């Protein structure tokens, strides 16, 4: 049985649902996000040494 009309729309909406908690960051002008449960450690920026 294939999804029709409203059923297909509901399926697509569920796939686009991005609820939850994320760690977000920017890199080279692009924004990224990682599911918070995948994060093991956050290390702050270290001082740059010559």
Q: Please write the tens of the pLDDT for every residue from 1-50.
A: 455 555 544 544 455 566 789 999 999 999 999 999 999 999 998 999 98
What are the residue ranges spanned by the domains of the chain?
Answer: 15-40
Inter-residue long-range contacts of 23-31, CB under 8 Å, 24+ positions, other chains counted: none
Contacts of 31 (CB under 8 A, 6+ apart): 24, 25
Q: Is pTM beyond 0.95 here? A: no
């Amino acid at each position: 049985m294939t999804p029709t009309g409203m059923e297909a729309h509901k399926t697509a909406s569920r796939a686009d649902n991005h609820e939850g908690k994320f760690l977000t960051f920017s890199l080279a002008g692009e924004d990224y996000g990682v599911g918070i449960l995948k994060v093991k450690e956050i290390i702050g920026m270290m001082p740059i040494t010559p």
